[in-house]
């Protein structure tokens, strides 16, 4: 039986972007402090209205309500765009997340991956408009991070230029499936524990659809393991929850922390068992951007090389997890439940 989760309260900094130009020094100090000590924070007064967020959630729900054979006309591809269902496996669990997602980009990789207007007439137009609104907010944060690290104000903005063909930033629409309130004997994972490997993630959630939890503790970006004490993340309508990704952790010479997080499946009365929707905007630099911190702790790599390395490490840990699960399963099957005697191989 899995060990019971240990929880403790952690304060998630809530940072206002109000009057940004006049308050930029104070906002920068707050963002850097949150990034060094928590790795997660929420932003308010960011200029995106609750109605704009809800309108995009409506587009997302309309897409996920389509039949699977229609969604399959825009399948996920190695270009990091498209629709997937029950296919994302986390090394922390060795099992698929109980969800589906549709990943959107700005560039030409999306040319054949937008759902047809015959199914959702306004989807592409409204999605791009929302993506650009989030991009504008993320660029304000990039100015602060650049200042905090001693780079020119526009340093990160230039390297995340969405007008370039090799842009990698994406918006992922997520639909976690409704789960049974009475145990059916199966184990579900909404999103197993993981760290994002991009620059910065901006997450939109619906109030009341709980489950997001964080587990700080990583000191270096090359360390995969996470701690074992979790904290629940609460938010108010309109808040944007942000977390540092592995790439920014490396780019800051491990000063800013990329924190492990998960969406825990409901398991007790009072949890939210219904369908859960969220939207995550992943800021990822252009593939040819050179990644190296001001202190040059790590050798320079391109955005494409960093992503490839992160994926390789991820899959290596996943393979080890699968082997561990297989060995545990074989060991369990080799013990007869009533007598404790060994069962012959292949029985």
The closest alpha carbon to 251, from 319, 207, 310, belongs to 310
Q: What is the pLDDT of residue 2?
A: 46
pLDDT-derived band at 326 (thresholds 50, 70, 90) equals low
CB atoms under 10 Å from CB of 257, counted, come to 25
Q: What does the pLDDT average to over 24-45?
A: 96
**Residue 155 to residues 128, 164, 290, 314, Cα–Cα distance (Å):** 24, 16, 11, 28
pLDDT one-digit tens code per residue, 263-301: 887 777 777 788 999 999 999 999 999 999 999 999 999
- Asked if residue 342 is part of any domain, the answer here is no
pTM: 0.88
What was the pLDDT predicted at 195? 85
| Token couple for 308 | 């490839």
Closest CA to 277 of 196, 169, 191, 194: 191
Q: What pLDDT shows up at residue 91?
A: 65
- Per the model's pLDDT, the better-predicted residue between 218 and 163 turns out to be 163
Res 254 pLDDT > 60: yes
94, pLDDT greater than 90 = no
Nearest CA to 114 out of 195, 59, 33 is that of 59
What DSSP state is assigned to residue 253? T
pLDDT of residue 341: 29
Our CA angle for 94, 215, 35, nearest 5°, is 125
Kindly list the distances between the CA atom of residue 182 and the CA atoms of 152, 162, 186, 248, in Å, as whole numbers in the listed order: 55, 46, 11, 41
| Residue 341, in any domain of the structure | no
Number of domains in the chain: 1
> Quick one: pLDDT at residue 267?
74
Q: How confident is the model at residue 63 (pLDDT cuts 50, 70, 90)?
A: very high
- The residue assigned the tokens 């209205």 is 49
Kindly state whether residue 344 falls inside one of the protein's structural domains. Answer: no
Asked if residue 345 has pLDDT above 60, the reply is no
| CATH number of 226's domain | 2.60.120.330
The answer to whether position 100 is within a domain reads yes
Provide the pLDDT for residue 344: 26
- Token pair of 340 as six digits: 């404790």
In a domain, 338, yes or no: no
The verdict on residue 1 lying in a domain is no
Domain containing residue 222: 6-333
pLDDT, greater one: 274 or 22: 22
Residue 199 maps to a domain:
yes
| Each residue's pLDDT tens digit, 177-233 | 988 877 776 777 778 788 898 999 999 998 888 788 888 878 888 876 666 788 888
Please indicate, yes or no, if residue 279 is contained in any of the structural domains. yes
Which stretches does DSSP call E strand in the chain? 6-7, 14-16, 40-44, 82-85, 99-105, 170-176, 191-194, 200-205, 212-215, 229-232, 240-244, 260-263, 276-283, 290-291, 301-302
């Amino acid at each position: 039986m899995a060990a019971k989760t240990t929880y403790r309260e952690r304060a998630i900094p809530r940072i206002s972007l109000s009057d940004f130009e006049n308050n930029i020094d104070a906002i920068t100090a707050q963002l850097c402090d949150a990034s060094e000590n928590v790795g997660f924070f929420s932003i308010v007064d960011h200029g995106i209205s609750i109605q704009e967020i809800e309108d995009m959630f409506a587009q997302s729900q309309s897409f996920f309500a389509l039949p699977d054979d229609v969604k399959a006309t825009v399948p996920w591809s190695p270009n990091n765009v498209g629709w997937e269902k029950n296919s994302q496996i986390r090394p922390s669990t060795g099992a698929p997340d109980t969800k589906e997602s549709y990943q959107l980009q700005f560039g030409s990789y999306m040319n054949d991956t937008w759902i047809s207007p015959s199914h959702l007439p306004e989807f592409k137009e409204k999605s791009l408009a929302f993506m650009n609104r989030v991009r504008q907010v993320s660029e304000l944060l990039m100015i602060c991070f650049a200042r905090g690290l001693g780079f020119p104000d526009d340093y990160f903005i230039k390297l995340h230029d969405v007008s370039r063909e090799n842009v990698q930033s994406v918006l992922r629409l997520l639909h976690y499936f409704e789960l049974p309130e009475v145990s059916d004997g199966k184990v579900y994972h909404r999103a197993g524990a993981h760290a994002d490997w991009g620059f910065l993630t901006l997450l939109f959630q619906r109030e009341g659809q709980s489950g997001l939890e964080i587990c700080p503790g990583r000191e270096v970006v090359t360390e995969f393991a996470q701690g074992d004490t979790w904290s629940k993340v609460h938010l108010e309508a309109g808040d944007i929850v942000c977390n540092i990704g592995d790439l920014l952790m490396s780019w800051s010479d491990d000063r800013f922390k990329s924190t492990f997080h998960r969406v825990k499946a409901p398991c007790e009365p009072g949890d939210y068992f219904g369908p859960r929707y969220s939207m995550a905007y992943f800021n990822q630099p252009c593939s040819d951007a050179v990644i190296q911190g001001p202190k040059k702790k790590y050798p320079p790599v391109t955005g494409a090389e960093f992503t490839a390395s992160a994926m390789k490490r991820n899959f290596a840990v996943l393979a080890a997890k699968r082997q561990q699960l297989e060995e545990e399963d074989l060991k369990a099957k080799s013990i007869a439940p009533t007598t404790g005697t060994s069962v012959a191989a292949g029985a």
